[in-house]
């Protein structure tokens, strides 16, 4: 029996095949945080929050730059609550959430 090496190769190709799935897992995680924390307002026009996917509402906000957007998210801004009610979110997650909602990539 010399078949001992085959399972190892299968394992390696299996891992490589999983890489694109890992990237998708990041998006799914952001989507989950969005649904839990931001959607209540950013998916409800009556709250006055810029709505997810409304590029026009986001354009002047995105124009302020990532630093100001991050400050306003963490400290709160007018009716926007501090941390957007996601107390365990990281700065990277906030930036990803803003990109997700605005449909714009921040530099
Ligand atoms: C309780 C409602 C509420 C929740 C929850 C909420 N927001 Fe907001 N958000 C607002 C409102 C209202 C505004 C508009 C504030 C204004 O300009 O008057 C806003 C504005 C913003 C802005 C733009 C700030 C600017 O400088 O113009 C960002 C960025 C933002 N929210 C991110 C988030 C993120 C990320 C989450 C989830 C983690 C979140 N918000 C959750 C209500 C909310």
CATH of 25-102, one of 1.10.760.10, 3.40.120.10, 3.40.350.10, 3.40.50.300: 1.10.760.10
Residue nearest to atom 40 of ligand 1 (CA): 84
**pTM, entire model:** 0.84
Nearest CA to 81 out of 31, 37, 29 is that of: 37
| CA of 27 relative to ligand 1 center, distance in Å | 20
Write the pLDDT tens digit of every residue in 10-68: 766 776 676 666 566 688 999 999 999 999 999 999 999 999 999 999 999 999 999 99
d(CA 83, CA 71) in angstroms, rounded, equals: 9
Q: Where are the domains of the chain?
A: 25-102
Residues with CB under 6 A from ligand 1: 37-38, 40-42, 47-50, 61, 64, 68-69, 72-73, 77-81, 84-86, 89, 94, 97-98
């Amino acid at each position: 029996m010399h078949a001992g090496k085959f399972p190892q190769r299968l394992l390696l190709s299996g891992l490589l095949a999983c890489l694109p799935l890992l990237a998708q897992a990041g998006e799914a995680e952001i989507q989950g945080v969005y649904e839990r924390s931001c959607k209540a307002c950013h998916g409800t026009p009556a709250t006055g929050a810029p709505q997810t996917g409304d590029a026009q509402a986001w354009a002047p906000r995105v124009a302020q730059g990532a630093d100001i957007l991050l400050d306003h998210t963490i400290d709160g801004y007018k009716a926007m609550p501090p941390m957007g009610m996601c107390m365990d979110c990281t700065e990277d997650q906030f930036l990803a959430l803003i990109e997700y909602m605005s449909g714009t990539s921040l530099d």
